[in-house]
Amino acid sequence: MTPLAIPVYGLVSLGGVTVGLSLFAWDFTRWWTAHKKRLSLKAVQALLPQLLCLAYGALLILSAGGIIGGLADWSLWGTNQVGDIVLVYGLGAATPTVTRASHLALTPGGHAAIIIITVVIVAVCSRRGFRWDFVRQIFAGIALGLASSIAGVVGFLVAPSLSWAGDYVTGLL
């Protein structure tokens, strides 16, 4: 895949995974340097919102479509393009597609849960102010949600759980 190629939705390139892992590494490194001397339950609780936003981003890219799914696809395309440009022009490397062979699909209850989680994130941000750490981890989750390696395990583990919970709560089971 060459940089600035025609957008292909639902595929993640090595550049996209690189961007996703870099965004996660940014916040994890800042958390680690602040808590490495005293790792406690409170320190782990400080990391929890970033991990939840990472999982939320991975779930967004598994959405069927609509406005939120379209924004996730657009974000995946953007992270792919940024990563591809850096890898190709910065290092002269290739950027193959690293998308998982089997896509997971959310159930209707899972999609309902995505809407509820979106409302919760907007409520938290409206109360506490705009959070760049949330945005970085949501983009990281979007970039990593379809990856075939260990980077994509978030989407592979969280999607069935959310679908089951959403179906159970909404009465679809």
Judged by DSSP in three states, 95 sits in coil
Q: Give the Cα separation of 146 and 124 in Å (integer).
A: 27
Give pTM, 2 decimals: 0.84
Q: What residues have CB less than 8 Å from 95, skipping those under 6 apart?
A: 1, 13, 14, 15, 83, 84, 87, 88
Contact by Cβ (8 Å): 99, 146:
yes
**Cα four-point dihedral sign 165, 141, 31, 29:** positive
Tell me the average pLDDT across 47-71: 86
pLDDT of residue 155 exceeding 60, the answer is yes
Count other Cβ atoms within 10 Å, centred on residue 108.
Answer: 13
Tell me the average pLDDT across 27-36: 88
Comparing 156 with 17, the larger pLDDT belongs to 17
Comparing 65 with 110, the larger pLDDT belongs to 110
pLDDT of residue 153 exceeding 80, the answer is no
Tell me the average pLDDT across 34-61: 86
Question: Could you give the C-alpha distances from 148 to 19, 34, 36, 100, 166, in angstroms and in order?
Answer: 15, 32, 31, 4, 25
User: pLDDT band for position 152 (50/70/90)?
Assistant: low
pLDDT at 163 (0 to 100): 87
pLDDT of residue 25 exceeding 70, the answer is yes
Residues of the chain with pLDDT > 90, as a percent, come to 16
pLDDT at 23 (0 to 100): 94
Tell me the average pLDDT across 86-94: 87
**Cα four-point dihedral sign 132, 138, 27, 8:** negative
pLDDT at 45 (0 to 100): 87
User: pLDDT band for position 106 (50/70/90)?
Assistant: confident
Q: Domain locations in the chain?
A: 14-170
Copy the structure tokens of residue 121. 């994130």
Tell me the average pLDDT across 52-78: 86
Tell me the average pLDDT across 87-100: 84
